[in-house]
A and B are shown apart, each in its own frame.
Chain A
């Protein structure tokens, strides 16, 4: 099976920066994804990393270190609409996605 760990909850202030860490142990590795999920809605794609390093997309950035089994999602200039659950997902050697339990981020004014 797969083991994907991320913090359960994080709280930050509007305009601040928050970093969500994700560690994983999987059978094979074919990429790491981050999804955003607002309460009562479907997950939506944020980012994809398959090589080590930082991928930047607007206010969101994602980092991967394959040797450490570690990724983080960085959310900058936080807005109230960023309050959501953030899901780390790893694609294994069989090309199936395994998800972490998600990190609920609450942005306060």
Chain B
């Protein structure tokens, strides 16, 4: 079982360009999440989806959009990248948003915006 996969592993992007970070899980989890991790700030929630067809905004949603067309995939799109979006991006999923439902994290995408 692959768990959660993310692509690409790393990317250098010119400011102003658009990019989609891909996330796929094979655990049939209902909930999926996108976080960014910056030194000294910890993980911050960008967007989330409690179930296929629904999405919600997290703590830092500006400049990002998501879609959840099916259970397995949860892409994150940067419409016009800016240098402040340089970060490590983690996708996560959980079977349930309540109870002891832990979140499983993908390996991350390291994005540099120049």
**Which of A's residues lie within 8 Å of B, judged by CB?**
1, 4, 30-31, 33, 41-45, 48, 50, 87, 89, 95-102
Contact = CB atoms under 8 A, between A and B. Distances in A.
Contacts of B53: none
B100 A50 contact: yes
Contacts of B58: 96
B4 to A, nearest CB: 8
B43 A87 contact: yes
Interface string B53-95: 0000011000000000000000000000000000000100000
Contacts of A30: 98
B106 A97 contact: no
A-B complex: 5 closest residue pairs judged by Cβ atoms: A42-B105, A45-B102, A101-B42, A99-B43, A95-B97
B42 A42 contact: no
Contacts of A87: 42-43
Interface of B: 33, 35, 40-45, 48, 50, 58-59, 90, 97-100, 102-108
Of residues A42, A98, A99, A102, which shows the largest number of chain B Cβ atoms within 10 Å of its Cβ? Answer: A42
A30 B42 CA distance: 20
B45 A98 contact: yes
- The majority secondary structure among interface residues of chain A is loop
Contacts of A48: 100, 102
A41 B106 CA distance: 9
A99 B46 CA distance: 13
A1 B44 CA distance: 12
Contacts of B102: 33, 45, 48
Contact of A42 (B45, B48, B107): B107
Nearest to A31: B100
Contacts of A97: 33, 45, 103
Contacts of A96: 45, 48, 58
A101 B107 contact: no
